[in-house]
Structure 1
Amino acid sequence: MSGISNTTGRMLARREQIGQSIDDIISTPIGTRLMRRNYGSFLPQLVDHPATAANRLRLIAATAQAIMKWEPRTRVLRVNVGFNAQGKCELSIVRRDTDSVDSVALKVTVGGAA
């Protein structure tokens, strides 16, 4: 199964479509989608908190929870959290898609100043 890129309109392979879906899930605040109020993650509410160990753990948990709930085609293996010079949260996600034995690395940037 393949999909369409939300930026270019071109066809995407399944692996890229899952990555695009994960990006959408974790960057969408819960409660902002009409007719689908539970969709998204708590990540946008958490990214501007201090970068303490407890808050990093909350970011990891919010990421894994949202992906497990909304993207059944993949399993999260590892999530690492970092912050870039612009103050944006950088998530390094390692996942394994259900139809593959290979792990896939994905980097997603969320939040911070525009």
Structure 2
Amino acid sequence: MTYVVTENCIACKYTDCVEVCPVDCFYEGENTLVIHPDECIDCGVCEPECPADAIRPDTEPDMEKWVEFNRKYSELWPVIITKKDPLPGAEERDGEEGKLEKYFSEAPGEGG
């Protein structure tokens, strides 16, 4: 099992999760985070830290696409280990449908 970041992180990018991760397996895009599925040790400490409920175990239904999404972008983006402010409008976009199509950017974040 591994944990992955799902669509609700997009355009919110809360980073509460990165500070509790013991193995630094979070990677930062311009407007979302991902978890490297091969680096995650399945400890689960990040899941309850996410205000947007965007971190899910890969054992839930239909998670295969998110595992691949997380793997792809974790290999392209910089690691993030320090909490940052969420994106402007994060509270309003929390739970919004269709965020992958509407807002997702492949651009890397700053990391750090």
TM-score range, shorter chain: under 0.3
Q: Which has the higher contact order (CA 8 A, sep 6+)?
A: 2
Return the TM-score normalized by structure 1: 0.23
